[in-house]
Amino acid sequence: MNGLKSQIVDNVKKKYVAAVILARGGNNGIPLKNIKLLAGVPLIGWVIRAAIDSDVFDSLWVSTDHDEIERVAKKWGAQVHRRSAEVSKDTTSSLETIQEFCRMNPEVDIICNIQATSPCLHPHHLIQAVEMVTKQGYDSVFSVVRRHHFRCVLEPKNLLALNLNPAKRPHHQDWAGELCENGSFYIATKKLIDEGVLQGGKMAYFEMPADNSIDIDNDIDWPIAEQRVLRFGYFGKDKPELVRLLLCNVLGCLTDGQISLSASGDERVSVNRRDLDGIPMLQREGTEVILLTSSENPTLGRLTDKLSQKTGCVLMSLNEPKQVEVEKLMKEKKLEWKEVAYIGNDVTDVDCLNLAGLSAVPLDNSVVTLNAAKYQCQSAAGHGAVREFCEHILLLKKMRTLQTAGNPYCKKNLTNTGIINFVL
């Protein structure tokens, strides 16, 4: 009997599970919302990273009709389902698009539809929810959040309370609240999807904490989501607290890349005070900062000398290829790439941007450098990009410290699940 149970479990584990993120190009609310930067990361990047790190999917797909969304999705590690025009309309339902995906990928047994607009999703949410289908035998599972909102409906002449007695309003702490879909994900078997439903069969809910439950529909949601994701988002498996060294280009990162001429013929460059203030923030946390230059321009030489004196940073002149010289430096300092952060702006920086544990480029950079960087600054070169990246490094370090210390928002045992029986 035990052997039979083991065989059944093994068979269930062999089910092909695919994650599908729907990301149509034509959005009526925020243009190209799915790839708009949220805290330096494309919106869709947050859920792709969580899905990949959950390690429960046989494949991860972004379904889109837009070239730029396809480029960003592939950069973040997803495969792309190029949807047809028939399922790319404003009136197309999610179910119709998923059904097309299933027809094009007949090997799939279970589909997890992850919403791109839920950036506070973590891998452990997906792990636990997917296992409810693959190991516990549910046909569909969807995410919910507990809300404490009193609801009413307007009848022709009266306002009708739906979930409370107005004469006996309960205290917040005395009321369990209600479960509401938060839209983070919907998991269903292919059999259900072929039948035309995403929720059905043996069904269960997966309760997520309110702090991880945010949806972005319009512009007013964006600043709120940005603050929420900085505090409760998932930043990946990297160990930012291990960053020991920041390498920073002077021209094109600390400066805006422009050299101005005065009436007397003197060449001048400018540096933003905010960027200069950002460097000591890292130094106080034990991270060394080295300024990089490859120019023999005498104006830049005088600038870097002054910057060195003002910031206490070592100057390093790099020739191409930069990767070779950076790795020599790392060997001298006994560092690995995962301990190095790098902010660059040129095609000659691409190799270092790809290899560094954390990397960034200022706003409005070339496509090749944007693809290589792990973080895209929302500030331009010479206008706060370096300060922004320094703050990002420190924020990641703080988040990892909180996780290590047992921050309740990062624990994996906060989630409730339950069985649902609908009366139809």
SS3 of residue 178 by DSSP: strand
User: Residue 302 catalytic?
Assistant: no
Per the CB < 8 A criterion, the answer to whether 163 and 202 are in contact is no
The total number of residues written for the chain in this structure: 424
Question: How many beta carbons lie within 10 A of that of residue 259, not counting itself?
Answer: 16
CA pair distance 424, 422, nearest whole angstrom = 6
Question: How many beta carbons lie within 10 A of that of residue 155, not counting itself?
Answer: 8
SS3 of residue 196 by DSSP: coil
Task: List residues bridging with 267 in a β-sheet.
Answer: 261
Q: ω before 166 within 30° of 0 (cis)? A: no
CA pair distance 314, 126, nearest whole angstrom = 45
SS3 of residue 418 by DSSP: strand
Structure token digits, residue 55:
């390690």
Per the CB < 8 A criterion, the answer to whether 165 and 226 are in contact is no
- The residue with tokens 């603050």 is 227
Q: Which of 374, 290, 341 is nearest to 48 (CA)?
A: 374
CA dist 416 → 206, 207, 358 (Å): 6, 5, 34
Per the CB < 8 A criterion, the answer to whether 20 and 96 are in contact is no
CA pair distance 141, 110, nearest whole angstrom = 11
Question: How many beta carbons lie within 10 A of that of residue 220, not counting itself?
Answer: 8
CA pair distance 244, 345, nearest whole angstrom = 21
CA dist 204 → 11, 127, 190, 348, 421 (Å): 21, 15, 16, 52, 8
CA dist 278 → 245, 296, 313 (Å): 14, 26, 12
CA dist 297 → 253, 304, 322 (Å): 17, 11, 18
Largest CA distance in the chain: 93
169, 268, 273, 302: which is the annotated catalytic residue?
Answer: 169
- Residues tagged active-site: 169
